[in-house]
């Protein structure tokens, strides 16, 4: 038992130093988008807000989804780093259970297990709210992304998406605003 506690404390310390959102207990299980249509979800989404994480450190983030093969969505995430370079990573996502298409599993590296990717809400043309969570026994780490088809989003839409996250127990006060200023982000489209 002491070994498990030591490992958990060590992992907790590493994650806390990385500014992750760490909470006690198991991951919440919020409702996902009903009748999710992956084909309508395809295309480019701009990051508007996100919970802090260790793998996204830049601005001007975009996520582009494409149909790779039947039932498999290609994922291309891009961001502009502080040094002016573009960081990009590709992966794939697919529904573990076809009867629950809004509950996807996303993989970026073959050597790591897929991560949950839950589409909590989308209107396909304007906004998308995505949630993920990883359990570590005594605690969990939350991930959330508010995305838009445009580089900006109306405040009332953001408030609506915040209310969905808050009702699931996600710390909306920890969300970070992603810089999508067109002049600043110009390198992403060149």
Residue 138 has pLDDT above 60, yes or no: yes
Distance CA 12, CA 2 (A): 15
Which CATH number does the domain housing residue 90 bear? 2.40.128.20
Query: What is the Cα Rg of the chain in Å?
Result: 17
Q: What is the pTM of this model?
A: 0.88
How many angstroms separate the CA atoms of 142 and 134, rounded? 7
Check residue 112 and give its pLDDT.
Answer: 82
Domain count, the chain: 1
Q: What is the DSSP letter of 126?
A: S
Q: What is the pLDDT of residues 68-127, one digit of tens each?
A: 998 899 999 999 998 989 999 999 999 999 999 999 999 998 878 899 999 999 999 999
Domain range enclosing 15: 2-189
Comparing CA positions, the residue from 59, 63, 53 lying closest to residue 80 is: 59
Q: Compare 47 and 4 and report the one with higher pLDDT.
A: 47
Give the H or E element holding residue 38. helix 38-41
Query: Which pLDDT value is given to residue 31?
Result: 95
What is the spatial distance between Cα 146 and Cα 177, in angstroms, rounded to a whole number?
9
Band of residue 190 on the pLDDT scale cut at 50, 70, 90? low
Q: Please, what sign has the CA dihedral across residues 59, 42, 29, 54?
A: negative
């Amino acid at each position: 038992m002491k070994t498990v506690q030591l490992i958990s404390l060590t992992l907790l310390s590493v994650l806390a130093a990385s500014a992750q959102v760490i909470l006690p207990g198991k991951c919440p299980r919020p409702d996902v988008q009903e009748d999710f249509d992956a084909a309508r979800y395809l295309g480019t989404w701009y990051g508007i807000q996100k919970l802090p994480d260790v793998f996204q450190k830049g601005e001007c983030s975009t996520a582009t989804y494409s149909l790779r093969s039947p039932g498999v969505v290609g994922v291309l995430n891009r961001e502009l780093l502080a040094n002016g370079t573009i960081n990009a990573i590709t992966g794939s996502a697919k529904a573990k259970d076809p009867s629950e298409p809004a509950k996807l599993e996303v993989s970026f590296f073959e050597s790591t297990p897929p991560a949950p990717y839950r589409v909590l809400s989308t209107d396909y043309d304007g906004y998308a709210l995505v949630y993920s969570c990883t359990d570590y026994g005594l605690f969990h780490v939350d991930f959330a992304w508010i995305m838009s088809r445009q580089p900006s989003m109306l405040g009332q839409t953001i408030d609506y998406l915040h209310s969905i996250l808050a009702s699931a127990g996600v710390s909306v006060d920890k969300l970070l605003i992603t810089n999508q200023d067109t002049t600043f982000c110009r390198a992403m489209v060149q």
